[in-house]
Amino acid sequence: MNTAAVILIAGVAGFAVTGALGFIMIPWLRKLNFGQTILDIAPNRSGKRTTPTMGGFMFIIGTCAAILLAVATDKLTGGDIAASGSLLPEEMYTKLWSGVVMALAFALIGFVDDYIKVAMHQNLGLTVKQKTVMQFFVSLAYLTGLYMGMNGAPHMFIPFVGAVETGFFHWIFGIVMIYAAVNAVNLTDGVDGLCGSITLTTAVSIGVIAALKGFFGFSMAAAALAGACLGFVLWNKKPAKVFMGNTGSMFLGGMVVALAYAVGCPLLLLLAGIAYVIVGASDILQIVYFKKTGGKRLFEMAPVHHHLKIIGWSEKKIALVFTAVNVLGGLAAVAVINYSGYIL
């Protein structure tokens, strides 16, 4: 089947399934009383609003269903989009499917955290230590899969340097990078439409990179994720009818990491996901500044999008500005990969 058609099928299916699930899952979550009470931190507002959470299941189902539909459709017409590219088919399959499994594993961690908070009414959820240990083992399992898929010779592309074998650094860099990226994506949740919109643009930019380099299976997965994010944003834009919860944001973190690794350049998230970098860095800066100054704050509240809300920015403006910044970062990522001697 024509690869462009398969990619289009994935994007449309991701959007349609996720959007349609909103009519089913949002009332269901309300019925289960899986709501989240949010204190509005905007100036001159002291009200609280209760909105269903764990809506991330909508785009988790949408993304996975779209990928499976696209792969199955292509298979039935004699194609094998999951193996298209310059790498060995085994490595292509490993990168695609292990990435999806990793994202689902992170979603499971997020679900446990959400369930403790919402269903068991414990505001703290999992402790930082518990989440860190769980994320460590998920990351280790994923990196092991990549290691085996690369026949014990892990490698990655570094812009303007070329393809390099990473050796033992594969494990050290991978664990640090995956942990940082997934949690940075998690931090971008908290403003209506923000995390979904940023992830949509990140998925599009990585999907374009994958297509330019002939990795159409990865473009297909990116299209499925982008479509699902768009379908969710329609329900999550202000005023939000549902929140994604940690279940959703951690799945998105796992997926963008998987896509970056799939094209062989996890470093591209520094540009394609620059909004995540800004948000994560602002949280770190707040903590460091607080400790170094004996209690002073660099921002009114961290991460920085909460600071902007407190000083008067609307949630719509925050989402639009951060998404626009991420679009520019995505364009820069496409340019860097395309003109830096990319080869794997």
**C-beta of residue 203 within 8 angstroms of C-beta of residue 233:** no
Long-range contacts of 74-77 (CB under 8 A, 24+ apart): 74/1, 74/6, 77/1
State which amino acid sits at residue 52. P
Q: Tokens for 330?
A: 């995505």
The pLDDT value given to residue 119: 76
**pLDDT tens string for the chain (344 positions)?**
789 999 999 999 999 999 999 999 999 988 887 765 454 544 443 334 578 889 999 999 999 999 999 999 999 999 999 998 877 888 999 999 999 999 999 999 999 999 998 877 777 789 999 999 999 999 999 999 999 999 999 999 999 999 999 999 999 999 999 999 999 999 999 899 999 999 999 999 999 999 999 999 999 999 999 999 999 999 998 788 999 999 999 999 999 999 999 999 999 999 999 999 999 999 999 999 999 999 999 999 999 999 999 999 999 999 999 999 999 999 999 999 988 888 76
The pTM for the full model equals 0.94
Q: Tokens for 281?
A: 């860095």
The pLDDT value given to residue 124: 79
The pLDDT value given to residue 49: 55
